[in-house]
Amino acid sequence: MSAQLIQDWTESQVLLKFGTHKEVKYKVYKHGEKHFQEIRDLDDAPIHTLELPPGLAMEANSYEVLLRYVLLDVVQPR
């Protein structure tokens, strides 16, 4: 089964804590019945792949919110 692209690679500058930021790129795709957001550094190094909750699967505005959440709470431990 192949993946269906929903949003191609999009570059984003994500505001982190205390005015710092991180530049990343992400894409959104569907594999089977599940939707995923894959996040990478601009140099193409993998950061994280997140399975999207069903209610956010097609909301493009939600992708940026989830991107910040992943970078703050999943990638950078507290």
Residue pLDDT, tens place only, 19-78:
788 899 999 999 998 999 999 999 999 999 999 887 766 677 778 888 888 888 766 654
Q: Looking at residue 45, what is its pLDDT? A: 95
- The identity of residue 37, as a single letter, is Q
Q: Looking at residue 57, what is its pLDDT? A: 67
> Pick the residue with more confidence: 6 or 58?
6
Q: Looking at residue 70, what is its pLDDT? A: 84
* Closest-CA residue to 4 (of 30, 40, 33, 39): 30
Q: Looking at residue 20, what is its pLDDT? A: 82
Burial of 43 (0-12, 13-18, 19+ CB in 10 A): exposed
Retrieve residue 45's tokens: 């190094």
